[in-house]
Homo-oligomer: A and B are copies of this chain.
Amino acid sequence: MNDSTKTILLTGFEPFGGSQTNPSQLVALALDGKGVGRSQIKSAVLPVDRTGGPQALLEKMALYHPAAVVCLGEASRRTVVSVEKIAVNWMDFRIPDNQGEQLCDQMIDPEGPAAYFSTLPVREICMEILSGGIPAKISMSAGTFLCNQVFYTGLHSLATQSLVVPMGFIHLPSLPEQASRVSSPIASMSLETSVRAVEIALDVIQKRI
C-alpha cells in the first residue's frame, strides 16, 4: 500500500433472525482486500447485537481511519437494492437481536440529533446501479433495528469528532437460498448481482475521496 492508497471500510452483518446466512456478510467478504480506483477495501462483519454491533463498527473506524465507510445490511422484505438516505435516532426492534434483546421505542443516543443524512452521493450511487442494470432505489428509512443503529452511530461518531468522512448504508434483498426457505417464498437477488451493485457504489465513492 503506497502513501496515497486510501481505505474504504465495508461492513456487513452476521446472520440473524434464524437465518444461516446474510447477503451483507457475503458481499462484504467477497470484496475484502480488493482495490477500487486508488482505494482498498477493508471488510468487517458486525455482530447483530445492540451493544456489540455499533462498538465493532467504531473499533474498525478507529483502526483503519477509512476515507469512506459503507455499511451493508439485509432487508428481507425489500425487492431491490436500497440506498439509504437517512439514519434516525430511534430503536424499535421487530425481532430480538442475537443476544435476545428486543428494544422498543428508545433513542440510540438521547443527546444526539433526531437524524443524520447519509454523506454518500446517494442519488448518483442509485443512478449508477440502475445504469448497471440492477434494480435499486433511494430509501427514506433504514428501519429501526441494528442496520439503522449502526448507520446512526457511525454518522454520529464522525459528526462529534468533526471528521469529514463520507459514510452511508445500503440494504440488500435476501439471497435466493434464503428466499427459498421461508414458508411463502419471497423476492431475492443473487449474490453476484448484489456484489456488482456494491462494486458500482464503491466506484462512485472512491472518485470522491
Contact = CB atoms under 8 A, between A and B. Distances in A.
B116 A187 contact: no
Interface residues of A, number: 42
Query: Number of copies of this chain in the oligomer?
Result: 4
Contacts of A37: none
Interface stretch (A27-35, A54-62, A188-196): A188-196
A79 B188 CA distance: 8
Given A114-B114, A115-B114, A116-B114, A188 B88 contact: no
Contact of A180 (B133, B140, B186, B187): B133
Nearest to A81: B185
Instruction: State the main secondary structure of chain A at its contact with B.
Output: loop
Interface string A104-141: 01000000011111000001000001101111111011
Contacts of A184: 137
A140 B87 CA distance: 11
Contacts of A25: none
A193 B176 contact: yes
Contacts of A143: 140
A135 B186 contact: yes
A92 B123 CA distance: 11
11 contacts: A79-B79, A79-B185, A80-B188, A85-B90, A113-B113, A115-B115, A135-B176, A135-B186, A190-B190, A190-B192, A192-B192
